Structure 1
Amino acid sequence: MVQSGLVFSLIHTMSCQNRPVKDNMDSSSGFSSSFKSKQSRLQERRGSNVSLTLDVSSLGNVEPIKSVSTPRELTLQYLKTTSSVLSREQLKEITNNTQKLEAEFSKIPPNFIETNELNIPGHASKNRYKTILPNPQTRVCLKSEKHSDDLSSYINANYIRGYGGEEKAYIATQGPMVNTVNDFWEMVWQEDCPMIVMITKLKEKNEKCVVYWPEKQSSFGRFEVVVNEVKECDGLAIRDLSVKHAEESRSVKHYWFSSWPDHQTPDTAQSLLDLVLEVEESRKTAGNRGPVVVHCSAGIGRTGCFVATSIGCQQIKDTDKVDILGIVCQMRTDRGGMIQTSEQYEFLHSTLCLYESNLSRMPNSSPASEVNSA
């Protein structure tokens, strides 16, 4: 316990102070005056009979130790507060400034999860990549009776917020593996997903995804999946599926966009933009159903480009502005690593710039034009 003041008394008593001194010594040698001078200096130096007081009351005013934020807390703080709202004109300008975009992207923390943060023994067998793990706070958990323990309920997938912070607008997940196909369909059924968007080939040097749908009809766990119709055009295959369980049947539309090169971006943004707008239109007609499932191989790069483009298009259409940096930060809060490379970040800007350009050619294409024409 710190006291408000500490007093230390140093009392020095010189035995020679009470000892008589002869006159002849004073006159002959000057000893007395010399001794008194030394005694005086000694008293000044040591404090003599004067108490020495040390005031340490100021110690009580020391600021308390502040808590130190963990790297995870700092990451989340950055992701939740960082934003850069662009007008349509600013979007055009920054899209051509690749150096600025690279610098901006490099500052966004990836928010990847470490294995010990999941605390699910054996989950590694269900991950396509050992370093790409689902963030715990938004992780999809399988909830049927057969998925009663931590491992059986585990799937490498996250809920992703959409435009305006809409909860569970999307599910971002990895490409299904042989031992996770049944879990994948369990998730599609559990979440009542109306659409699946697949943005990867089955193999790109290495396996990226297994075939998890049938040629015509097949069973996956407790679900029967039937292919009703297939349409193919320019690197995009659209399948109308029926997913059945017990006496219930649900329609699910499967989009397979296979023309995106691995570790690169498409030559033109038009193909991705067409896919995004097609899925968004189908989503509206599907009514009040669950999230749109989006996956590539790892479920973060091309998946992130699709989700961010979808959100960005809605922002531009509704507000005449877009916050691409904020969109990516929001996605990475939900699933680490969304938008994997600076090249993808630049491609995202190009795609949204193309959408803005197309929108500009349409009459009454934005709130601003409506206001100006009023």
Structure 2
Amino acid sequence: MGSHNSKALTRDGLSKLMESSNAVQIISEEHKKLMSIKVEGTLAASRTTAHLENTQNDAPELCFDHSRVVLSEETGTNNYQLTFPINATYIEGFNHPKAYITTKTPDSETTICNFWKMIWEHRTKIIVTFQESEESVDGISYWNPEEGSSLQFGKLRIETYKIIESHPSFQIANLLITDENGATLFVNQLLFTKWQQVNISPPQSYFIELLLMVQLYNQSPVEAVSQEGYNSPIVVHCSDGLQRSMVFCATDIALSSISETGEVNLYSIVSKLRKDKYNCLYSVNDYCFCYIAVYYYITFYKTA
């Protein structure tokens, strides 16, 4: 079955690929070709961030300047080195510009404050987090998992209104954000608990259930429409912003493509994502898992 990366696959076509004896070889060759494609873009602002933030890891997430999230305080100065650029990236969805924002889990007072500023300015209503139990750095967390508790970051107070733990693979936290003037924003955080190690993929059934729940919440008629006229982006974060978060985006786009057109081209999807997010989905295991998750979806959600 030769390379199929230049065309979209129907449900039947994807099933035939995944059930073939050389599926792993074909998908691995696709990924190798993707990694060989040079992506154009500058990284000036996020290199400044990496230099200023000495609490982050030695290998920080870098963002292309053309897709990097810029907070209002940053645009208010002629010298952004006096501010602190946030390492977060806009990701284009299926027929939806800036459908997602992906970022590294905030792990310092500065990055947490910027994280909540970003949520507030974009009127975000959904946060998806992939968090290992050992990922908390120095005990710092951007939210409190206890119902009725609250934390203050800069001018924003984050209250944990309710925790819903009715699903075996994720919990939903209802968060209420209040600014210094009393204005509020209601946010749903979905915390996926079944991807404990980056190099070990989760059960695809749980992952698809998370995706479908996020889609359900995203269709709810809650306020969030940005000033530019599009629905507020879903914010997705993980330990580096490059792997689990981007697997989520790639698979979510693939599911939308299947549902809307009956076809999917993961090679094309990931190729476009790598133009938005620097060095994302560099692991062949993550790329293979995208295929496995979509295959599970078309197998068990035939009428979706």
* TM-score, scaled relative to structure 2: 0.83
CA contact (8 A) 1:196 1:255 kept: yes
State the secondary structure of the residue aligned to 1:186: helix
Q: Is the 8 A contact 1:111 1:333 kept in 2?
A: no
Distance 1:301 1:315, change over 3 A: same
In structure 2, list runs of 5 or more residues that go unmatched: 226-230
Structure 1 stretches of 5 or more lacking a match? Answer: 1-81, 366-374
Question: Deviations 1:137-162 (Å, cap 9, x if unpaired)?
Answer: 00001113796341424011100000
Say which SS state the counterpart of residue 234 (structure 1) adopts.
coil
What are the within-5 Å matches in structure 2 for residues 1-374 of structure 1?
83-96=6-19, 97-109=23-35, 117-118=44-45, 121=48, 123-126=50-53, 127-130=56-59, 132-144=61-73, 148=77, 149-151=79-81, 152-164=83-95, 166-178=96-108, 179-203=110-134, 207=137, 210-214=140-144, 215=146, 216-232=149-165, 233-245=167-179, 246-285=181-220, 286=222, 288=225, 289-360=231-302, 362=303, 365=304
Distance in 1 separating the partners of 2:263 and 2:139: 36
Q: State how far apart, in whole Å, the 1-side matches of 2:175 and 2:16 are.
A: 43
Deviation at 1:123, TM superposition (A): 3.7
CA distance, structure 2, for counterparts of residue 130 and residue 290 of structure 1 = 29
Q: Which of these two proteins has the greater Rg computed from alpha carbons?
A: 1
Q: Percent identity over the alignment?
A: 25
CA contact (8 A) 1:141 1:154 kept: yes
Equivalent residue letter for 1:177:
D
CA distance in 1, matches of 2:238, 2:62: 14
Amino acid at match of 1:185: W
Deviations 1:269-304 (A, max 9, x none): 011101111011101103534100001111010001
CA-CA distance at 1:170 after TM superposition: 0.3
Larger relative contact order, structure 1 or 2 (CA cutoff 8 Å, min sep 6): 2
Number of residues of Structure 1 aligned to a counterpart in Structure 2:
279
**Secondary structure at 2:171 match in 1:** strand
Alignment partners' CA distance in 1, 2:279 and 2:139: 19
1:248 maps to a residue whose letter is: A
Structure with higher helix content: 1
C-alpha distance 316-122 of structure 1, shift in aligned 2 (>3 A): closer
- The answer (yes or no) to whether the contact 2:98–2:233 under 8 Å persists in 1 is yes
